[in-house]
A = this chain, B = another copy of it.
Amino acid sequence: MSKSTGSCQGFLHHVFDYETPKTLIIPSIRVGFVFRFTQFLVLLYVVGYVCVVQKAYQETDSVISTVTTKVKGFAFTNISDMEPRFWDVVDYNIPPQGDGSFFVLTNVVMTPGQTQSRCAELPNPSTICVDDCDCVEGYNDPRGNGIRTGLCENYSSIVKTCEVLSWCPLETDTNLPKRALLAEAENFTVLIKNSITYPKFNFHKRNILSHINSTYLKRCEFNRKTDPNCPIFRLKHIVSEAGEDFQDMAVKGGVLGILIDWSCNLDWWARKCYPKYTFHRLDNKHPVNNVAPGYNFRFAKYYRTAEGEEVRTLIKAYGIRFDVIVFGTAGKFGIVPTIVNLGAALSFLSLVPMVADWFMLTCMKKRDLYSRQKSTYLVEESEVESACLKNP
């Protein structure tokens, strides 16, 4: 080999001379087997676990969703405290707009004919009085129901309480019926329309699947086994799938989650994208670690008398709030996660020779022979002189 001194050629040598490691071939089946077996284990993990089980080669995106709901059903109530009354959707479904969270009234404490006026407070240790001196005018008791006027009035024939300025008569919500007023609500149905988008993959879908026809939709009812794709749910069914009893829950109300899981695999070779419905009670029904159990809120219907006075019917509404919660992640083959995971796997493959070397140099009988031929100790210059090396 002739030595070139041209600097350009030197540079070319520097860039294009290819430096490859010298290797020693060990014709040992045992070492070879350990090497191949370790390689196989790594490949198995990469192909089997990372690719097939975890689908780590996929990019992911979160769902964007819109929900429309429509409740159907009516009920008739005839209890002693109240006039017989017919209830339709407009009466018990609040708010009426039919978005992802809807409320079905099941129990009610009504206080009709409230006006801005004065009346005796509900009796309790802090409101009971003997004469006007016990009642401080203008006092605003956070647990009371109004601003004290400073007078002590008869609440009933046996007890006197401080008079307050408030919406009178005051609401008495202590004797809530043990059985829900709208017990029939368990047979109401709700139609849930849900359309989702995975913006990264430009993928759109509805929970009313394309193979379902309108006739089926008019008569079907969701059932995990027989009708898993019907978007119409009977309230009783929802509550019982959540492991609760409708009549129990209806008395004091609660919050029930209708969870729609849109986890999807959007790879073309395995396209699978269906909504999966599950139901969970979301509020805490246990009385410990709890405050204001159940679910209720107050609202009022405002009227005006012929004389122009404002009157309202106060309604304390107990019921079940259904929250439709849509979640999910879609995965689709993506070049970056694939590369990253392949790269990580390759790193592990590059560990395999270390394992085989270690095995070869510690567990084999001929380890000293292998070691001597594999590794060379640096030879000092003086020794090199006399050595048989012919390097230029």
Residues of A within 8 A of B (CB): 1, 12-13, 15-29, 31-33, 35-36, 45, 49-50, 54, 56, 62, 64, 66, 68, 70, 72-74, 76, 83-86, 88-91, 94-99, 101, 103, 116, 140, 142, 145-147, 165-167, 184, 187, 189, 191, 193, 195, 197, 199, 206, 208-214, 217-218, 231, 255, 257, 259, 261, 280, 282-284, 287-292, 295, 297-304, 306, 311-312, 314, 321, 323, 325, 327, 335-336, 339-348, 350-351, 353, 356-357, 360, 369-370, 372-381, 383-384, 387-388, 390-392
Contact = CB atoms under 8 A, between A and B. Distances in A.
B344 A289 contact: no
Given A86-B167, A342-B344, 11 more contacts: A22-B373, A50-B336, A73-B142, A94-B97, A191-B292, A193-B292, A208-B284, A339-B344, A342-B348, A346-B350, A369-B381
Contacts of A29: 12, 16
Q: Classify the interface of chain A: helix, strand, loop or mixed.
A: mixed
A96 B299 contact: yes
Contacts of A116: 83-86
A106 to B, nearest CB: 14
Given A29-B16, A378-B27, A218 B350 contact: no
Contacts of A140: 74, 76, 184
Contacts of A17: 25-27, 32
A257 B197 CA distance: 11
Contact of A284 (B97, B101, B195): B195
Nearest to A50: B336
